[in-house]
């Protein structure tokens, strides 16, 4: 796995169980090829080539040493990595990731004949899982403190398997952290015994339910996150994902809870497949994760919480590998064919093996820097236009206010002139006293009526001026808030939005 540029895929066949003794084999395995002997729809030999194929005789230790160890070596050099176990229910995904003992917890009962067969067909009766081997490698490297978190996705809700509180966690997203879980606990990992304890408690808490295909079927996805802190302050993360198995409704019981679980499982796995297909199309059109044109290919990460959490891994932000597990029997040939087709598509998705940045805050800083370096001319022109527009509107508002002051001054002068003229008509004080009382009453009413009319006119003008002021203020605010430009950072390949007026940079465009 020297300088990988795409998703790597290994296929693992589980042994045929005693309950399947009468079922013929549909799969033939070699060093790097899988041959599907027949399917219900096409009775012909079909070959698929992968990075590695593991037979039922290969142990978990062999899978780690020959397939995953190079990936962990890249992670120790600062590259994020993700490993996903994918396959039909009952094909050994949890057995591969957790190991035999932790896998057996889902049964909560005594060993059955199939379990005994699995132990007898391997050289290592303990069969520790890949999670154990990866953590052991990170601890032995002594590159820095190792921390871990363990979460479960069940019916599109996220739970922390290390907490006694079983309330679902909120999934949030911002420009600095991306998609994250604020309440998810991250625990220090001092030894593999600490990890075993965490996995043990998590396996007991994980949602497992017997199905017609697998008495120990996991009905949820789990993600073990191992974080390695280096001396320079950077943190590298390895995600180890145990996906729930796909299953058809006709092979499931009619219980409402079973059907509900199956609906969410198949929905999330279907979204994963859609994302893989979209990423494959992206790479075919643009030659890799960093060459994508803005908005040209939509990847439906948001259709499932599983793909939202895995978006950085699937989208080219680190290394990614699949371990695809298969049932070798003819009765599962159609499901095996679908699994092989998914794995073939996944191998066509590009990844990046560049060392990760110190943090998303550093990413945001680099994004802001590249924004001003690469787009200074266009941003400057846009800024000048908006500033000129705001200055013109401000001048217009100042003129309206000055007009208001002049009108007030004119009205006051009119009041004074009006009152002086009315009283001057009366002549001397004596003559005024001899005047007719009715005329004086009419004079007072006329003056009050004129004053009332002038007051109404002033109020109307003031309301018009205030409306103009509010409209100009709203236009100025809208102009500032809507000035978001969309970019692709040359270094990271991330899409982001920058407001040249406010100086803000965000990963998602704010609503206006």
Binding site residue list for ATP: 87-94
And the tokens for 500? 């040249």
What are the beta bridge partners of residue 33?
A: 49
Tokens of 234: 């950077």
354 Cβ contact partners less than 8 Å away, ≥ 6 residues apart: 79
Asked if 137 contacts 228 with a C-beta cutoff of 8 angstroms, the reply is no
- Tell me the pairing of strands 319-326 and 8-13: parallel
In total, the chain counts a number of residues equal to: 512
Which residues participate in the annotated binding site?
87-94
E-assigned strand segments in 134-217:
146-154, 157-160, 172-174, 178-180, 187-188
Name which of 31, 2, 36 is nearest 330 in CA terms.
36
Half-sphere exposure of 292 (CA within 13 A, CB side): 28
Residue with tokens 């009715």: 438
- CA 164 to CA 186: how far, in whole Å? 14
Q: For the purposes of burial, counting CB atoms within 10 Å of the CB of 423, is it exposed (0-12), middle (13-18) or buried (19 or more)?
A: exposed
**Contact at 8 Å (CB) between 8 and 350?**
no
């Amino acid at each position: 796995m020297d300088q990988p540029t795409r998703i790597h895929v290994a296929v693992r066949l589980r042994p045929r169980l005693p309950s399947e003794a009468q079922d013929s084999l549909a799969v033939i395995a070699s060093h790097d090829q899988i041959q599907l002997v027949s399917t219900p729809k096409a009775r012909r030999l079909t070959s698929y080539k992968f990075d590695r194929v593991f037979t039922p005789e290969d142990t978990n230790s062999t899978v780690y040493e020959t397939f995953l160890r190079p990936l962990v070596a890249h992670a120790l050099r600062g590259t994020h990595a993700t490993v996903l176990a994918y396959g039909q229910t009952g094909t050994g995904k949890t057995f591969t990731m957790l190991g035999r003992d932790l896998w057996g917890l889902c049964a909560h009962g005594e060993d059955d004949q199939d379990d005994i067969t699995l132990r007898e067909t391997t050289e290592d009766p303990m069969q520790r899982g890949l999670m154990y081997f990866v953590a052991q490698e990170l601890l032995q490297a002594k590159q820095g403190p190792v921390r871990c978190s363990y979460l479960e996705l069940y019916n599109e809700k996220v739970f922390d398997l290390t907490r006694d509180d079983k309330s679902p966690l909120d999934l949030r997203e911002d420009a600095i952290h991306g998609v994250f879980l604020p309440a998810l606990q991250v625990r220090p990992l001092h030894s593999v015994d600490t990890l075993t304890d965490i996995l043990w408690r998590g396996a007991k808490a994980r949602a497992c339910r017997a199905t017609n295909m697998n008495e120990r079927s996991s009905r949820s996805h789990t993600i073990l996150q191992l974080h390695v802190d280096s001396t320079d302050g950077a943190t590298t993360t390895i995600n180890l994902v145990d996906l729930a198995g796909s299953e058809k409704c006709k092979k499931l019981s009619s219980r409402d809870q079973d059907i509900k679980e199956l609906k969410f499982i198949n929905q999330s796995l279907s979204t994963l497949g859609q994302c893989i297909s979209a990423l494959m199309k992206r790479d075919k059109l643009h030659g890799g994760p960093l060459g994508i044109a803005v908005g040209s290919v939509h990847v439906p990460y948001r259709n499932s919480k599983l793909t939202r959490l895995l978006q950085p891994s699937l989208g080219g932000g680190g290394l990614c590998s699949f371990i695809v597990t298969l049932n070798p029997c003819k009765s599962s040939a159609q499901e095996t064919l679908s699994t092989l087709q998914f794995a073939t598509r996944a191998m066509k998705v590009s990844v990046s093996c560049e060392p990760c940045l110190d943090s998303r805050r550093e990413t945001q800083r680099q994004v802001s820097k590249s924004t001003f370096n690469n787009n200074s001319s266009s941003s400057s022109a846009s800024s000048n236009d908006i500033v000129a527009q705001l200055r013109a509107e401000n001048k217009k508002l100042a003129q309206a206010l000055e007009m208001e002051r002049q009108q007030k001054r004119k009205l006051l002068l009119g009041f004074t002139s009006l009152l002086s003229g009315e009283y001057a008509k009366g002549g001397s004080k004596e003559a005024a006293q001899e005047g007719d009382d009715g005329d004086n009453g009419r004079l007072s009413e006329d003056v009050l009526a004129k004053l009332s009319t002038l007051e109404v006119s002033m109020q109307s003008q003031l309301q018009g001026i205030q409306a103009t002021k509010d409209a100009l203020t709203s236009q100025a605010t809208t102009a500032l808030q809507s000035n978001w430009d969309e970019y692709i950072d040359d270094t990271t390949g991330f899409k982001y939005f920058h407001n040249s007026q406010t100086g803000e940079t965000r990963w998602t465009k704010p609503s206006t």
